[in-house]
A and B are shown apart, each in its own frame.
Chain A
Amino acid sequence: MASADAAISARGLHKRYGRRVALLDLDLDVAPGQVVGLLGPNGAGKTTTVKILTGLVRPTGGSAELFGVSVADPAARTRLGYLPEHFRFPEWMTGLELLQFHARLAGRDPRRDAGRLLDLLALVGLEGRGAERIRGYSKGMTQRLGLAQALVGDPDLVLLDEPTSAMDPLGRREIRELIRGLAGNGVAVLLNSHLLTEVELVCDHVVVIDRGKVLRSGTLDEVRSATLEVRIELDHVDQRVRDLVAGYGRVIAADEHEILLGTDDPEVVPRLAVDLVQSGAHIRALVPLRRSLEDAFVGLVGKEES
């Protein structure tokens, strides 16, 4: 099922911490060059998913592979870069020393890599700060160093868990550009972020999870339109028309002239139009509303809650 070409291939991941179930049954696929956003409310299982993929947490069920190698094998992490959500670096080290250490762990020769490490510092906006001790770094600088650390092994897959949480808007923009640059070079990126606008700006694929399972996954547009809202304007709305419309989805709001319909399927719009006309209703307007990722997210997760 899993091909060696897939950066991430996870099937039926399950994780239980004592009685609490963090992941129920999660499938995830990420191909090279894809930037995939992992979305979900707090406690949905995002960080658990990422930690299983990095081998930090052992799943209680299911399997996961990175480039065709099981995550239980340390070799699976050869092509992986990882920025954890909560992390601390030894404060007595300098930024450059930290990168040298991780370069060694990633199997590179830091002496031959010296120029590249300096380039990497410049790439994340820490040019000229490599000789300073981490003790003196600000939160934002530490996060930038964390990002450089994730990239030190020249990875083909990067897992970023809340990579810009400590950054200002300008820093966030830099990181977005950096992520796009990675994807342009064929690197697969899994981005775990609370910031939906950020995900919307940088990701081409989105996976929405809640309570340990996938609610929806697909391209950004597919997920955005997944919970389509359609505004139906009629001469007159009576109970018969409302019942007819309700057959196509959820009636979110309705008054004498207008119905707001929520649906998962964009294909209902033309069928609904035909039905309405045949029923004798006079259509003034039938407008599928373009939704933001946030609307889609709230629609998906909210529906799950209710």
Chain B
Amino acid sequence: MTALAVTRLSMREAVSRRLVLIGLVLSAAFLLLFGFGFGALYSRAASEADSTALAFGASMITVLGLYIVRFLAALLAIFLSSSAVASEIDSGVLHAVLARPLSRTSWLAQRWLAFVLVTVGYVAMMTLAVIAIANGIAGYAPLNTPSAIAVIALELAVLLSVGLLTSTTWSAVTSGVVTFSLFGVAWLAGIIELIGDQLRNQTMQLIGIGTSLFMPSDALWRGASFYLQPPSVLVLSRQAGGGNPFAGIAPPTTTLIVWSVLYATAMLLLAAWRLRRRDI
């Protein structure tokens, strides 16, 4: 019966926060705006623009919209995980719980699972809604939505593992700032790598790849964004010479996926190791 009691509680806790309620209201507003924007593109442009420009526009709006969704989910992941350990210990919430016949590793893993389910649930819901709207208005058909969601889920798992690791040591604010900084650094490195690709500058490419090893979040997003674009747009983007910082033109490599899984697992194990050694 202890099975997943902590997961269930953590999910309810996450959802019970006002943040999630506000988030849902804002997300609804976001979908509304997206629908109007997308609709406007087709009502006015459809008559005059050529179909290539139109497909590019539709793809751009959709991918950017989903970039925002993924960004919000990443923020949610950082917010949830960075306040999950040290601040719970300091406030005394954990004392009675960890005095139960429950290993700290199990407690941490259950909490991680809860946060994965909440954040991935949010991303899946919003991604499907955005794609459905775009599809309803203009027959927008991305390459592979489930694959995109799976890769974003992996990115969120990575962020949650790092957030939990930093929160075993630092207070909520410090932990959140550190994790968010890593997320930001990865984004910047992604841009450097992209420009390096286009200029064939090997140093810039190495900076990007090195940083992705250190924090694979942005590389994962670019991989996910590949699946969110229609095949025709991808072909045109490749011919034009490359993607942009928001939308990649290649699927995530197997190396990246394997590395990210190992990375998330290692960070989570490290967090469990630190928590086990910590006095509460």
How many residues on A have C-beta within 8 angstroms of the other chain's C-beta atoms? 35
Chain A nearest CB, measured from B64 CB (Å): 35
Q: Are A78 and B101 in contact (CB under 8 A)?
A: yes
B199 on interface, CB distance cutoff 8 Å? no
B92 on interface, CB distance cutoff 8 Å? yes
Which residues in B have their C-beta under 8 angstroms from that of A101? 5, 9
Which residues in B have their C-beta under 8 angstroms from that of A146? 96
A58 on interface, CB distance cutoff 8 Å? yes
Which residues in B have their C-beta under 8 angstroms from that of A78? 101
Q: Are A105 and B279 in contact (CB under 8 A)?
A: no
Taking residues whose C-beta sits less than 8 angstroms from the other chain, chain B's interface range is 20 to 34
Q: Are B98 and A102 in contact (CB under 8 A)?
A: no
With A101-B9, A108-B1 given, is the CB distance from A77 to B91 under 8 Å?
Answer: no
Q: Are A107 and B92 in contact (CB under 8 A)?
A: no
Which residues of chain A in 88-111 are interfacial with respect to chain B, using CB atoms and an 8 Å cutoff?
88-90, 92, 101-102, 104-110
Q: Are A74 and B1 in contact (CB under 8 A)?
A: no
Whole-angstrom CA separation of A78 from B101 in the bound complex: 5
- Quick one: closest A residue to B279, CB to CB? A57
Which residues in B have their C-beta under 8 angstroms from that of A58? 277, 279
Most buried by A among B1, B91, B280: B1
A192 on interface, CB distance cutoff 8 Å? no
Q: Are B13 and A80 in contact (CB under 8 A)?
A: no
Which residues in A have their C-beta under 8 angstroms from that of B9? 90, 101
Whole-angstrom CA separation of A57 from B277 in the bound complex: 9
Which residues of chain B in 89-125 are interfacial with respect to chain A, using CB atoms and an 8 Å cutoff?
91-93, 95-103
Chain A nearest CB, measured from B82 CB (Å): 18
- Which one of A51, A57, A149 lies within 8 Å of B96 (CB-CB)? A149
Whole-angstrom CA separation of A92 from B92 in the bound complex: 15
Which residues in B have their C-beta under 8 angstroms from that of A107? 1-2, 101
Q: Are B1 and A87 in contact (CB under 8 A)?
A: no
A55 on interface, CB distance cutoff 8 Å? yes
Q: Are A92 and B13 in contact (CB under 8 A)?
A: yes
A84 on interface, CB distance cutoff 8 Å? yes
Q: Are B93 and A104 in contact (CB under 8 A)?
A: no
With A51-B280, A107-B1, A108-B1 given, is the CB distance from A80 to B93 under 8 Å?
Answer: no
B47 on interface, CB distance cutoff 8 Å? no
**Lowest 7 CB-CB distances: which A-B pairs, in order?**
A84-B95, A104-B5, A105-B100, A54-B99, A82-B99, A56-B280, A87-B92
